[in-house]
A and B are shown apart, each in its own frame.
Chain A
Amino acid sequence: MLELQNVWFSAPAENGGKSEILKNISLKISERFVAITGPNGSGKSTLAKIVAGIITPTSGRVLLDGEDITELSVTERAKRGISFAFQQPVRFKGLTVKDLISLAAGEKLSVAAACAYLSEVGLCAKEYVNREINASLSGGELKRIEIAEILARATKLSIFDEPEAGIDLWSFNNLIKVFEKMHEKTHGSILIISHQERILNIADRVIMVKDGEIAADGTKEDVLPKLFGTMVGCRFTEGN
């Protein structure tokens, strides 16, 4: 179970002062699918990065299965079972798709094994397995490869920062199946930062963050009506 206790995060503001990005966030997450949503700039991605250890909170604690991991590095958190899929996947010159999936799996995978993960995310594996993770791959292809890496890691907590961004219709329709398969394999929690109504609709729990605070938290039946009422004028579209 993931727990955040009184997490604050502030960043330098343009006026020379401080901007409070997250304000006293406390959460316990143990459900299968949890979606965090809210307007742009509300602090969703910051929250996800704090859980992964990419950002250090100004104050507060992060616990995983009761262990205080606040001071642990990204690496140590990854080894304890936290996976993180970036909103904008990172490119590498020289490293291939197979290299990255092997690193994610923690072992040197055979071509067949790497291909199996790629097939899960709808990529014609043979065409991709030896390609470099570079600018020749589109944003959507990179997103799918990133999801394949998370599948290969099979950890107790998988965090996806806007997994739907930039992906095509196939990916979107199958993304949910991929999440379900991931859960079958790990019995862990999947934390998804998303604006996508179809993703919010599969969540067991929806947390709405607004202005750095939790504005709503509950089942989708409880939260989505409030959300639609609140987010008029904000980005909340199908498929981006």
Chain B
Amino acid sequence: MATLDSIKKNLLEQVADIHEIPTGAYSIRVNGKLFGKNDSENIAIVAKTDKQGIDIYVKPGTKNESLHIPVLLAQSGLKELVYNDFHIGEDSDITIVAGCGIHNGGKETSEHSGIHAFYLGKNARVRYIEKHYGEGDGNGKNVMNPTTVADLAEGAYMEMETAQIKGVDSTNRKTKATLADKATLIVREKIMTHGVQRAETHFEVDLNGVDCGTHVISRSVARDNSTQLFVSHVNGNNVCSGHTECDAIIMDGASVSAVPEIMANHPDASLIHEAAIGKIAGEQLIKLMTLGLTEKEAEEQIIGGFLK
């Protein structure tokens, strides 16, 4: 296999916390093409023939395996739409590390749109980690629009951790999930926007099964003149529990809108929504300054902790 240059290695490290091609199952996409892939005994990766993307098949009963599927774009002006479907077998337990890194050194907009569909079998467990990162010294915009659709069968469990901390000019994340009996979906989203960046996230969770539940938790920091929109709809259609929370720190001339909505369509649906937007409390800054930190250092510690 060809090797990655330093720019792409850095992107790989940023989005997947790895320095080299990973061991085990992986599929790495670079500049709009499949760069390399590897199956494991229990995880098969098959390139789609009708459109860009892959199908991933995890055998039932697969335990403690990981799958890396990072996407790296280092060519200014490249726009791609990729479809990845994950078929997670019953009783399996795996970690999936996804993510997209863009290095845009040109003037044109680079854009990656990924549509991920998850089909979790009965009692399957998935930890899905997705980081978005952008960089580049050109004026070209970095755009990422991920869509996640998750279908959780009875007893399935999915934990979704998404982070977008730096360098993405525009993002519109859409997540839609459907839960069967005793299924659980946990979403932890972390976003920080700078400059005039725009981040939108939309969640829609249908709690259809008996005793299913979800927590959709978003923490964000909006700096400079950036704007953010958080929208979530949790629909309790059975005996279920749902919680959606947006907690945002707003700074400078930024703007944040949070719209957490819950809808109970069953008398035994227990749903909670929370939203809080505010600047860093003065007393928090003072407290850390009494420990010897400067105001700037205190601010960074508070933000770093908040998004940790």
B283 touches A94 (CB 8 A): no
Does B294 sit within 8 A of A, measured CB to CB?
yes
Provide the bound-state CA to CA distance between A132 and B287, in Å. Answer: 16
Chain B interface residue bracket vs A: 20 to 34
B308 surroundings in chain A (CB, below 8 A)? 94
A78 touches B291 (CB 8 A): yes
- Set A93, A94, A96, A149: member contacting B291, Cβ < 8 A: A149
A75 surroundings in chain B (CB, below 8 A)? 289, 292-295
A90 surroundings in chain B (CB, below 8 A)? 281, 283-284, 286-287
- Set B284, B286, B304: member contacting A74, Cβ < 8 A: B286
Provide the bound-state CA to CA distance between A84 and B287, in Å. Answer: 8
* Also in contact, A93 and B306, with CB within 8 A (given A75-B294, A75-B295, A103-B301): yes
B307 touches A106 (CB 8 A): no
A104 touches B291 (CB 8 A): yes
Provide the bound-state CA to CA distance between A100 and B295, in Å. Answer: 15
Determine the residue in chain A with the shortest Cβ distance to B247: A93
Does B251 sit within 8 A of A, measured CB to CB?
no
A83 touches B247 (CB 8 A): no
Does A128 sit within 8 A of B, measured CB to CB?
no
Interface string of B40-84 (1 = CB under 8 A from A): 000000000000000000000000000000000000000000000
Q: Which of B261-302 contact A (CB under 8 A)?
A: 281, 283-284, 286-295, 301-302
B290 touches A74 (CB 8 A): yes
* Also in contact, A99 and B292, with CB within 8 A (given A90-B283, A93-B247): no
Provide the bound-state CA to CA distance between A93 and B295, in Å. Answer: 18
Provide the bound-state CA to CA distance between A119 and B305, in Å. Answer: 24
Q: How far is the CB of A53 from chain B (nearest CB, A)?
A: 8
B294 touches A95 (CB 8 A): no
Q: How far is the CB of A101 from chain B (nearest CB, A)?
A: 10
Q: Is the interface of A mostly helix, strand, loop or mixed?
A: mixed
Determine the residue in chain B with the shortest Cβ distance to A84: B290
Provide the bound-state CA to CA distance between A82 and B284, in Å. Answer: 18
Interface string of A71-111 (1 = CB under 8 A from B): 00111001100111010011011111001100110100000
A83 surroundings in chain B (CB, below 8 A)? 290
A74 touches B289 (CB 8 A): yes
Does A52 sit within 8 A of B, measured CB to CB?
yes
A153 touches B307 (CB 8 A): no
A94 touches B284 (CB 8 A): no
Q: How far is the CB of B282 from chain A (nearest CB, A)?
A: 10
Provide the bound-state CA to CA distance between A90 and B281, in Å. Answer: 10
B290 touches A94 (CB 8 A): no
B292 surroundings in chain A (CB, below 8 A)? 75, 78-79, 103, 106, 153
Q: How far is the CB of A111 from chain B (nearest CB, A)?
A: 16
A86 touches B287 (CB 8 A): yes
A153 touches B247 (CB 8 A): no
B290 touches A52 (CB 8 A): yes
- Set A54, A95, A96: member contacting B286, Cβ < 8 A: A54
Provide the bound-state CA to CA distance between A147 and B291, in Å. Answer: 12
A95 touches B289 (CB 8 A): no
Q: How far is the CB of B258 from chain A (nearest CB, A)?
A: 15
Provide the bound-state CA to CA distance between A21 and B90, in Å. Answer: 70
Q: How far is the CB of A79 from chain B (nearest CB, A)?
A: 5
B295 surroundings in chain A (CB, below 8 A)? 75
* Also in contact, A94 and B306, with CB within 8 A (given A103-B293, A104-B291, A153-B291): yes
Interface string of B193-220 (1 = CB under 8 A from A): 0000000000000000000000000010
Q: How far is the CB of B303 from chain A (nearest CB, A)?
A: 9
B304 surroundings in chain A (CB, below 8 A)? 94
* Also in contact, A92 and B286, with CB within 8 A (given A75-B292, A103-B301, A153-B291): no
Q: Which of B217-274 contact A (CB under 8 A)?
A: 219, 247
Provide the bound-state CA to CA distance between A153 and B291, in Å. Answer: 8
* Also in contact, A93 and B305, with CB within 8 A (given A75-B294, A75-B295): yes
